[in-house]
Each structure stands twice: as C-alpha cells, then as structure tokens.
Amino acid sequence: MLGLPKGVIKLKTYNPQWVLEYEKERDILKDSIGNNIIDIQHVGSTSIEGLEAKPIIDIAIAVTSLEEGER
C-alpha cells in the first residue's frame, strides 16, 4: 500500500520503489498538464535515499501560470 490509512502516522524504512512510484506519477502528470509544466520534482522525505519516511510521495510542480495549470 502506498500511503497510510487515515489517522495513522508511521515511518517506514527507505524503499527504492518510492523513486519508481514518483516517476510513474510524474509521467501521468506530464501527460495531463503537458506544456504548462516548467519543472516537476520529487520532494519530501521519500525523495531522500536512506531516510525513514511516511510512505507518501510528495511532488512539486511549477507551471507557466496558475490559470494554465488549472485547465
């Protein structure tokens, strides 16, 4: 399971699968948002190799404008 049940906070040992999960989501977002993306990054504790983390993939996206990003 990716993520945690509601109300549960638990750190997990670093999992290299998190990188692959990010890449899969990044590709979906690129297909959805397309040319409006300036940059997209895997951020947060799951992006740091070797660090225990909540198994939640955080992604930051910079878009050309908020209006374009909302379309």
Interatomic CA distance for residues 40 and 59, integer angstroms: 7
- Does pTM top 0.85 for this prediction? no
5-15 pLDDT, tens per residue?
A: 777 778 999 99
Interatomic CA distance for residues 7 and 54, integer angstroms: 12
Strands 37-43 and 58-63: antiparallel
End-to-end CA distance of the chain: 30
Give the start-to-end residue ranges of the domains of the chain: 17-70
Token pair listed for 55: 């198994």
26 alpha-carbon distance from chain centroid: 7
- Beta bridge partners of residue 41, listed in sequence order: 60
pLDDT by residue for the chain (71 residues), tens only, comes to 566 677 777 899 999 999 999 999 999 999 988 888 999 999 999 999 999 998 899 999 998 887 765 66
